[in-house]
A and B are shown apart, each in its own frame.
Chain A
């Protein structure tokens, strides 16, 4: 009996990795910013969304991990085999574009978090880019995975910093289960952004590949499912503490908009040096961590789907497409941050639209694939699960379409009214002596929205 139990534990330990890593990367610089803003502006009110978000996350992630374990193939492999090259090709183009802007956002997060420690972005960003490149290209997946898992533990900094701020736990507990809906555009947008930042197309591809890479099979699937669920819950536990921190430190003293995850850290400063330091370190960890995973996940997905050789164990000339795409994503993603006058805002808006357009397709393909008897055998969705899955997909599609239409509307307005007296979204960069680059974004609805939804704030001053 004890032996059986030990064996189960051993299997559980052997499947740890994919689910927890994917879910934690989800709390990247964009996620942290969104949660910080939610807490800073609305206090404890948005906490109730975390439970439905966790459920949605679990439903989508569970399906991916099941497909990976049963078929032993990545999601892009399956889409290619079942829906053909053209579908796969356009999906991969969209994925590269959206993920590229996400990579930029991560490097922006690295830059602004380290600037809180007085390290110039012209030093931090290139060093981190080189580190990211080497970690993956010169390391192997198993050792990289161990480092990534260790990085997951660093998210604990957010939990500690929340405790240091002494929040009103009773209030937090009540609002965690008490849905508050206000018909205020900003509030609704905030809620959509919170869901949008939690469930992204890349995650589905990454998780499924990681499950396959780990060699998890249908037999170990029960343990793997637990791991995926644990990962999803942990993610939202971290989100909970971020919201609580910002609610305590900022909202309780007067609700306000924050522009940047680093702003949130600065706002914590008066309440204790440690909370501030932990929050900033957490932001760096999250950004760096995601900067390692995102480009890698993108190239793996693309090479799998389009049939290029891939794998960090291959040499450069054996897998040229793999290495070139990876290098380009890292170099350009980091380079853009150091490039004055880059039309960052517009590009990220466009990517957000693309992200929104892509997610429904990915989710629909996923549910279609998981119901194929030929692929999944006895592991297809049950009727009840299918209902849950389709309802989740419908909710996600509805929310992202709402987000996309708001974004597009804002973009059109931005195009239509570039009034010089009230610039809608203008990024100006200039040398200002002390700071080599200072980007200034006017506080306006559009800029506000961008930050809320995309996790890309203005550059830290």
Chain B
């Protein structure tokens, strides 16, 4: 049957008939109750005179373009309900997140599937429509007969998002709970994509997302953002939540973000942090932004001078959390003095008993914490570096600068 689906633009204005076929009024809005069912239209709001009536989904016999026919006329007046997501008020023309296309889109129309059950028809949200086709429906709604609208729209390519890939944006955390809005779709995304999305949202919506998503995801996402956006997000959050997120960030990223904040705010956040990450971040905060100290991070693996390949492998197994971006190992003596840097890949071709010292890269390059950034980019360019160790005034290994940091630096220019 051709009427297997129905658009919200068509649903609005459908006549509702009682048992004897008399007209009760027109559909003004429809609502789902996500806690009960994420896609079934639970209520139809019908307006006759001043007040709206509410029709439950199980009071309906049939739904089609010709109207809605009831099987039960015990209707109640409509009361605003916090658990309802009203499609016209809360969804139509609002922004939502398209989890698959990984972007923020604006809802132009909604497509329902009409399911015929023995005891009556049920509407389920199928798609959210965003393209030109739905725009045509909106513009022609009420002006052109519905069947004509359908006929004409076939020449326009459709553009829709499956309802299950949509994530609604709601700034009120209480209401997020009542509407059962989960962050699963967001948490599954790549942090860089999520960062792009969040940057497109208004400050309130950003805050709502950061308040509710997992701190680890929040930290990764925040790391992908511009420093000024990072600062405005951290400022808007509860100090405790901000501290949780900052703890999860790499100390270097955390220091950069905190450096953007007003001093009092960043101190408050540091105050809430655990001792260990706090100290690391505080140390990094001491360095000026555009020096080697300001650019370096402290996520490196330094091993004692005599370590063998075997020993190094064991050490790496113990530091799985930083393996993703690791490409160089360092050897230090008992006084933490930098002695050698070993490209990680060389370990794979060497015998287990080989001392790491034999695999060292020559010459041993390093910079002082005070080194200027243009000198650093020059070194990266000249020696095709991935990682450059930074040593403090006493010659101790203080941190490393990685190529991705240099790329960001160059892009800023």
Chain A residues with a Cβ under 8 A of chain B: 3, 7, 14, 71-73, 80-81, 84-86, 89, 215, 217-219, 306-307, 309
Count chain A CB atoms within 10 A of each CB in B105, B106, B139 and give the residue with the most.
B106
Q: Given A71, A73, A85, A215, which contacts B232 in the complex, CB threshold below 8 Å?
A: A215
Inter-chain contact total with CB atoms closer than 8 Å:
43
Q: How far is the CA of A89 from the CA of B135 in the complex (A)?
A: 9
A307 touches B105 (CB 8 A): yes
Q: How far is the CA of A217 from the CA of B231 in the complex (A)?
A: 11
**Given the interface contacts A215-B232, A217-B232, A306-B135, does A81 sit within 8 Å of B94 by beta carbon?**
yes
Q: Given B202, B236, B262, which contacts A73 in the complex, CB threshold below 8 Å?
A: B202
Q: Given A71, A73, A84, which contacts B93 in the complex, CB threshold below 8 Å?
A: A84
B201 touches A85 (CB 8 A): no
Chain A residues near B94 (CB-CB < 8 A):
81
Q: Does B403 contact A (CB under 8 A)?
A: no
Q: Taking CB as reference atom, which chain A residue is nearest B228?
A: A215
Q: How far is the CA of A86 from the CA of B232 in the complex (A)?
A: 34
A307 touches B232 (CB 8 A): no
Q: How far is the CA of A71 from the CA of B95 in the complex (A)?
A: 13
Q: Does B229 contact A (CB under 8 A)?
A: yes
Q: How far is the CA of A84 from the CA of B93 in the complex (A)?
A: 6
Chain B residues with a Cβ under 8 A of chain A: 92-94, 103, 105-106, 108, 130, 135, 138-139, 201-205, 228-229, 232, 235-236, 262-263
Chain B residues near A309 (CB-CB < 8 A):
103
Q: How far is the CA of A85 from the CA of B132 in the complex (A)?
A: 12
A85 touches B203 (CB 8 A): no
Q: How far is the CA of A250 from the CA of B92 in the complex (A)?
A: 58
B203 touches A72 (CB 8 A): yes
B130 touches A307 (CB 8 A): yes
Chain B residues near A3 (CB-CB < 8 A):
263
Given contacts A71-B202, A89-B135, 7 further A-B contacts (CB under 8 A): A3-B263, A14-B228, A72-B203, A72-B205, A81-B93, A89-B138, A306-B106
B229 touches A307 (CB 8 A): no
Q: How far is the CA of A7 from the CA of B205 in the complex (A)?
A: 27
CB distance from B157 to the nearest CB of A (A): 12
A72 touches B202 (CB 8 A): yes
Chain A residues near B202 (CB-CB < 8 A):
71-73
Q: Taking CB as reference atom, which chain A residue is nearest B236?
A: A217
Q: How far is the CA of A14 from the CA of B228 in the complex (A)?
A: 10
CB distance from B23 to the nearest CB of A (A): 25
CB distance from A266 to the nearest CB of B (A): 44
Chain A residues near B93 (CB-CB < 8 A):
80-81, 84-85
Chain B residues near A7 (CB-CB < 8 A):
262
CB distance from B349 to the nearest CB of A (A): 40
A85 touches B103 (CB 8 A): no
Leading 6 A-B pairs by shortest Cβ distance:
A72-B202, A307-B106, A85-B138, A72-B203, A217-B203, A73-B202
A86 touches B139 (CB 8 A): yes
Chain B residues near A215 (CB-CB < 8 A):
228-229, 232
